[in-house]
Structure 1
Amino acid sequence: MLQQIYPVAPHPYRYELNKDLQFAAAHFVPAESAGKCSQVHGHTYFVNVTVAGDTLDEAGFLVNFSDIKTLIHTRFDHTLLNDDTESFNADDPNRFPTTEVVAKTICELVQHYLDGRSNHSVCLQVFVRETPTSYCVYRPWPKVYKRPAGDTRA
């Protein structure tokens, strides 16, 4: 895994967890204006997921690192992303399997998983590096900054 310094997502939470992982996948962008990217090709995607929260679970985790890896790796590794019609859609440019949409999709998957946990963690950002010189950062702001009603901490 590359050692990488990621952009910082400022937040008001006590804990921040970052998980690096990678997966190999092919894709194509179904748009003529995508140039060479409109042809099927593959990448080794490098991903960093940032999760934050205030409360640890019964094991002392914000979230288990391996749960995040399994969630993403199982879904995307050694696949043709375009075949994942739950995540991507060839008729909607907002759901083409571009780096931007892959980052957003990973964030949505992680947040859905976190929503099912009792400690109310949030996915602050997802960094996806598609090539050594190209990456995207997705942040689902401002939704993640809203504290529960009655939370008066400074």
Structure 2
Amino acid sequence: MIIYKTFSFDSAHYLPLVPIGHKCGGMHGHTYTLKVFISGDPEPHSGWVIDYTDLKNGIRPLIEMLDHKVLNDIPGLENPTSEQLSIWLWNRVKPIFPGLIRIELNETQSSGVIYEG
């Protein structure tokens, strides 16, 4: 079984490696949507894979690191593309939730990345 929880955060960034004049080279912001997918068998006693509150509490510190921040200022995110941000998130979520199987990160309603480790 796979469960998921959706989070959102607002961050600014710029992409230093794009060609000169590219619109993403300048500082701009996004309201990101993050979906975290956890796989596992429902526990016999509780009937759930994981308590959604535990998932929320485990992800909250990461969201606090990113929300209303400039992503380029965060170590490891000097070139904060959605792809790099999803890897950064994966590397921090997987040790907390070993059942992590997928991260979906949208920077707009119509564009995003899926990362499965």
TM-score by length of 2: 0.82
2:116 corresponding residue in structure 1: 139
Q: CA deviation at 1:36?
A: 1.0
What is the DSSP-based 3-state SS (H/G/I as helix, E as strand, rest coil) of the residue aligned with 2:96?
A: helix
Return the match for 1:100 from 68, 71, 83.
83
What is the aligned partner in structure 2 of residue 29 from structure 1?
Answer: 15
Match of 1:111 in 2: 94
The one-letter code of the counterpart of 1:128 is L
Q: Which structure is higher in RCO with an 8 Å CA cutoff and minimum separation 6?
A: 2
Match of 1:88 among 69, 73, 77: 77
For the 8 Å contact 1:46–1:129, the answer to whether it is kept is yes
Query: Is contact 1:52–1:124 with CA below 8 Å preserved after alignment?
Result: yes
SS of the aligned residue for 1:33 comes to: coil
Q: What's the C-alpha RMSD, in Å, of the aligned pairs? A: 2.2
Residue 20 (str. 1) matches residue 9 (str. 2): no
Corresponding letter in the other structure for 2:26: Q
Identity of aligned residues (%): 25
Q: 2:27 aligns with which of 14, 35, 40?
A: 40
Question: Which residue of the partner structure matches residue 152 of structure 1?
Answer: none
Structure 2, gaps ≥5 residues long: none
Q: Partners in 2 of 1:130 and 1:104 — Cα distance?
A: 15
Aligned to 2:105: 128
- What code does the residue aligned with 2:12 have? A
CA distance in structure 2 between the partners assigned to 1:138 and 1:127 by the alignment: 6
Aligned with residue 72 of structure 1, among 58, 62, 85 = 62
Structure 1 counterpart of 2:50, from 23, 42, 62: 62
Is the 2:59–2:93 contact (alpha carbons within 8 Å) kept by the matching residues of 1? no
Segment drifting more, 36-45 vs 65-74: 65-74
Q: Distance between the aligned counterparts of 1:136 and 1:32, measured in 2?
A: 18
- TM-score, normalised to structure 1, is 0.64
Contact 1:104 1:138 in 2 (8 A): yes
Contact 1:52/1:62 (8 A) holds in 2: no
